[in-house]
Amino acid sequence: MNRQLIVFAGLPGTGKTTLACKLAGVLPAFLIRVDTIEQALISHAGPATKVGPMGYIIAYRLAAENLRLGASVVADCVNPVHATREAWREVAKSESTPIFEIAVICSNRLKHRERVETRTSDIKDLRLPTWEEVISREYEPWNEEVLVIDTTKVSLDEAIKKILSSLYGR
C-alpha cells in the first residue's frame, strides 16, 4: 500500500472519530486527532485559551512529517470550512501524496442529538459540545466530490468496508 492522507470530516457526534480510529488500525496508518491537539494546548495554557486555528496548523505539520516518512495518515477533524479542507489538500500536494476525503454525517437528527447528549470523551478534560453548540456551528457544504458515510444507515464494519472499497476497489 502506498502512503496516503485520509481526512475525516463531520460535525461532532456523527461517528467520525470511531471510524477514523478503526480505519487507522486496519490500514495501518498514523492517526491525527485535532481534538487531542487542541485539548493538549488548552490543558497546558489554561481553560481560557483560545486555540483558534492552531490545532489544525499543528495537525497539518504532523501529517506532512509522517507522510514524508512514508506513512499513511488518517486525520480526524470537523474540517468545517473550505479553508481547512484546502489546507489538507495542500499538505497532500506538498508531499506528493493522494488525499481521500470522507464526510461523515448522521442524517437522523434525533439519533444525532442523542449521540451528542450521551457520549463521553476519551480525551482527558475535553469538554464535549452541547447539541446547541453542534447545530449552531459553522459547517460549509462541500463543493468537491467526497465519500459520504451516513452512520445512521451503515454499521461501523459496513462503513469501513465501503471506505476500503473506495480506497482500493475491494
**Better pLDDT: 52 or 48:** 52
Helix axes 54-68, 34-45, angle to 10 degrees: 130
Q: According to the model, what pLDDT value does residue 47 have?
A: 64
Query: Domains in the chain and their CATH numbers?
Result: 6-168 (3.40.50.300)
User: What is the C-alpha to C-alpha distance for residues 164 and 170, in angstroms, rounded to an integer?
Assistant: 7
Contacts of 40 (CB under 8 A, 6+ apart): none
Q: Give me the chain's average pLDDT, please.
A: 94
Q: 125, 99, 127: which is closest to 12 by C-alpha?
A: 127
Q: pLDDT per residue over 77-127, tens digit each? A: 999 999 999 999 999 999 999 999 999 999 999 999 999 999 999 988 888
pLDDT confidence tier of residue 46, bands split at 50, 70 and 90: low
